[in-house]
């Protein structure tokens, strides 16, 4: 993608290539945003799982101390 951008920049840009470049930049931005959203969702799921594990271990510890 970078090589294509360099080639496009070295050639005189026509309206079509300028439009294509804008489309590609927009697609890249959208994909980047979706990736960040997915990673944030994954991180939140991981945190929730960790908290549930902590709570379960705490309950097990309390039960075992009562015995």
Sign of the four-CA dihedral 50, 56, 62, 65: negative
Query: What pTM value is reported for the model?
Result: 0.63
Q: Distance of CA 62 to CAs 2, 7, 50, 56, 67, Å?
A: 58, 66, 18, 10, 9
pLDDT tens column, 30-50: 999 999 999 999 999 999 999
pLDDT tens per residue across span 14-27:
677 888 999 999 99
Report the C-alpha gap between 42 and 24 in whole angstroms.
Answer: 27
């Amino acid at each position: 993608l970078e090589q294509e951008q360099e080639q496009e920049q070295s050639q005189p840009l026509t309206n079509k290539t300028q439009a294509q470049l804008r489309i590609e930049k927009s697609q890249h931005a959208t994909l980047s945003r979706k990736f960040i959203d997915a990673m944030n969702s994954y991180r939140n799921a991981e945190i929730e799982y960790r908290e549930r594990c902590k709570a379960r271990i705490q309950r097990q510890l309390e039960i075992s101390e009562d015995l």
